[in-house]
Structure 1
């Protein structure tokens, strides 16, 4: 059979035009990323088609930027948000000498990777309920010697970690079930529901994490969980009920709220 003619290269302007027509607000920036990530004209065309079809840009190019790292993400993997960088910053401020780090509800493993990158050599563990995210998480924590586990919250972790964890970062799902349908289509249609849906009031998983954390934390170890501004007072109460010394960190610029609890 005769070979097909090669796909003609798309010009940067034509990529921008296609993305803008699809409703991409930052079409110029997205076009630049696609053109830099694709290796051939065929890949450029395929990436543009996937983005125009509504896939998140990070799934299209295969990575997301997070605290200066290039985090591998793929279809069906929760894309790390820049607002979650506040959680990492607060963890580093609270426990700058941490040696044992757990990234619970890890998704891509971005939080654990960012913590390990900043702390230097640590014992790093990442865990998630969804086995489909494990390959991405392994790729992202492997440069830091991290281990990935699959299972329901603390049941996924090796028992020998109990009472030894210096930083327990848990980017739990916190969208109330009734509001999942209001999320942008990129999240609603292309990210796992288990990474978004936090139950009736959005705090189901947070409650379980707060209640279970003290027995896993080392003395002085800290638990950090991201939540919304509306949910923050209730989240703080759950941490206090668990016996943790609790405070709330807020970044209005990033629309980020992080509850920090320290084991006395």
Structure 2
């Protein structure tokens, strides 16, 4: 039997889906006093059997807790919970642990602030089974004070990383990483699709694709340095040369199943920079 840590904050978990349940089990193993609420009460039965305390309402769960996790499926569910809270929550911290947009994170923070509570938004870079292991990373943004105050608890769940005091920072970071994967994966699929349609052996092509993707990774530090210093050296090609290739790619991708990847907008941006006398700069200038 796990002994309850009397010095630990009382925790409430609102939403007992896969992530919420994993959080509850980890905190119970850590000796925490955990209250759970779920809109469908029967879905919390197993957690209550494991030692969690059931709450009949959102208000009841929050009233007895200093740290509240909203482990819900989306912002609509978060909003429904927050609208049920109409009292002063001074001294309490609410963690939004759901997949949402930066705008939704900002809105949640505003609602929580009006309740006089602290808010942390969480970007979960882990599957439920990874919660409580070193393989899990959870990003947090919002109240730095709340993050430091509850760091010990957050460290039970993952390697916590504070990424900014803007409430939406964790959502931006999380979505930007997803976007990076999608851009790379869809770019690879476009390339393989074009090669296959041209009768090229895609396995043979894939070896050169791997090398090309490696160039992007290898150049990451240099690209970050250019952005931080606001310098845009041409590198292997300047903007006038890039524009020629981008236009060829637009032609290659016309009518293709996965579209053109937004290259017409890129071409328009490069054309504007060239017209402004910046044709000798490198591709980093497009985000300058």
Decide which structure has greater helix share: 2
Q: Which TM bucket (shorter chain)?
A: 0.3 to 0.5
Structure with the greater alpha carbon radius of gyration = 2
Decide which structure has greater strand share: 1
- TM-score normalised according to structure 1 size: 0.37
1 or 2 for the larger relative contact order (CA 8 Å, sep ≥6)? 1
